[in-house]
């Protein structure tokens, strides 16, 4: 059997239809989208079509979409842009303890770089990885410039109650940003229903190429530029557009919007089967945040008595790819900040594996994984002095 890939939260393959849409913009339609001649305008047409496709996926207007290099740039632009543009000598940001590093590290830099003039509140989550919207309300200060809460967590798949948080932000006239990198293309994302002012996505999480993403900026939202250069994209994001990547992002958004419900039903059934059978076949195993609403493709399971990194290597040797958590943190010595935030010990956090399925994951792949994983866990437990039956 070919290799089994269950690490779609890290990255996805480019869909053949997406690649086909991109190819002309490497050759025949290679023009600079900022040029006014015919080759440039052919490229511009591809970019603007993609803008409409991405806007449709998010329930936004095309003019509210700014193309970027990916989720990290989009998150950074939103956070730095809003906070640095906010009035007052002192400013305050509200976020959570389980955000992606693109948000956490940006917030920590603001604290350090401001010399204390910018403070950040990192709200805790419950054992299922959910934030209490009322804790957001309680954390608001007169100086609060931004609330940033991710839509779906990259390690657990937990979906946060953004609609309620969005109403709280609006009631207090505070800008609201969300990292939707792990939700866009998997579940319905509507910027108006969520009540967000800024939203970040990354193409390679839903079958577009790496190196392209987008930032939704609600009309009328003012934020300071992150980059300085030309006047591309209404001055929000200078630099020559990555036309093939943007076209690919647009096509992937279109495909995801069409197949969203069908994909969710099929993939969630496979995910549930994988989780249920692994818990039944592997003693003492536990699913993390299983009681919370989750993206349909994600399961995070603790296998006590093993080291997650060792299990990843063992599974890879057997032809199965999965992850210990965020790909950006692979190889890190510290346990996952997400798993410790929901109450896992450092030992259990290091013994946890994330399985993330994709649009093309097949039933036979799940059946094979259900043979491979229990066998690998049993072998590692036999070698582990820490495991007690």
List, in sequence order, the alpha helices (H) in 10-97: 16-22, 38-58, 71-85
- Residues 345, 337: Cα–Cα separation, whole Å: 11
Catalytic site includes residue 322: no
Task: Work out the angle between the directed axes of helices 243-281 and 363-383 (0-180°, nearest 10).
Answer: 60
Q: Is the dihedral of CA 355, 359, 360, 361 positive or negative?
A: positive
Tokens representing residue 5 in the block: 């890939």
- Residues 22, 24: Cα–Cα separation, whole Å: 6
Phi, psi of 189 (to 5 degrees): -125, 115
User: Is residue 208 classed as helix, strand or coil in its secondary structure?
Assistant: coil
Among residues 265, 327, 328, 332, the one annotated as catalytic is 328
Which has the closest alpha carbon to 120: 74, 69, 83, 81?
83
Which has the closest alpha carbon to 261: 204, 328, 187?
187
* Residue found under tokens 């969203």: 260
Q: Is residue 50 within 8 Å of residue 247, measured between CB atoms?
A: yes
- Residues 96, 111: Cα–Cα separation, whole Å: 15
On the 0-12 / 13-18 / 19+ scale of CB atoms within 10 A, 211 is: middle
Q: Which residues are catalytic?
A: 328
């Amino acid at each position: 059997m070919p290799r089994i890939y269950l690490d779609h939260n890290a990255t996805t393959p480019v869909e053949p239809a997406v690649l086909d849409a991109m190819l002309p913009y490497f050759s025949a339609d290679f023009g600079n989208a900022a040029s006014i001649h015919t080759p440039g305008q052919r490229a511009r047409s591809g970019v603007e079509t993609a803008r409409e496709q991405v806007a449709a996926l998010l329930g936004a207007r095309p003019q509210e979409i700014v193309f970027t290099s990916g989720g990290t740039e989009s998150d950074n632009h939103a956070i730095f842009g809003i906070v640095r543009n906010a009035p007052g000598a002192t400013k305050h940001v509200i976020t959570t303890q389980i955000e992606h590093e693109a948000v956490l590290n940006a917030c920590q830099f603001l604290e350090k770089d401001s010399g204390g003039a910018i403070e950040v509140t990192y709200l805790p989550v419950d054992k299922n990885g959910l934030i209490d919207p009322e804790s957001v309300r309680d954390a608001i200060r007169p100086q609060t410039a931004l609330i940033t809460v991710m839509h779906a967590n990259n390690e657990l798949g937990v979906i946060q109650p953004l609609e309620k948080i969005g109403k709280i932000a609006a009631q207090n006239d505070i800008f609201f940003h969300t990292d939707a990198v792990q939700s866009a293309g998997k579940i319905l994302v509507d910027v108006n229903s969520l009540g967000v002012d800024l939203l970040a996505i990354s193409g390679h999480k839903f079958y577009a190429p790496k190196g392209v993403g987008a930032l939704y900026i609600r009309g009328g939202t003012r934020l300071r530029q992150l980059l300085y250069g030309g006047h591309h994209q209404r001055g929000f994001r200078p630099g020559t557009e990555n036309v093939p990547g943007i076209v690919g992002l647009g096509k992937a958004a279109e495909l995801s919007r069409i197949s969203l419900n069908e994909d969710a039903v099929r993939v969630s059934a496979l995910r549930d089967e994988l989780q249920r059978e692994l818990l039944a076949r592997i003693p003492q195993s536990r699913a993390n945040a299983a009681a919370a609403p989750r993206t349909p493709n994600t399961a995070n399971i603790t296998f006590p008595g093993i080291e997650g990194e060792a299990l990843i290597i063992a599974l890879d040797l057997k032809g199965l790819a999965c992850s210990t958590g965020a790909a950006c943190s692979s190889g890190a010595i510290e346990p996952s900040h997400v798993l410790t935030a929901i109450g896992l010990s450092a030992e259990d956090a290091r013994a946890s594996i994330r399985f993330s399925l994709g649009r093309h994951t097949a039933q036979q792949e799940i059946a094979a994984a259900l043979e491979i994983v229990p066998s690998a866990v049993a072998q590692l437990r036999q070698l582990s002095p820490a495991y007690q039956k």
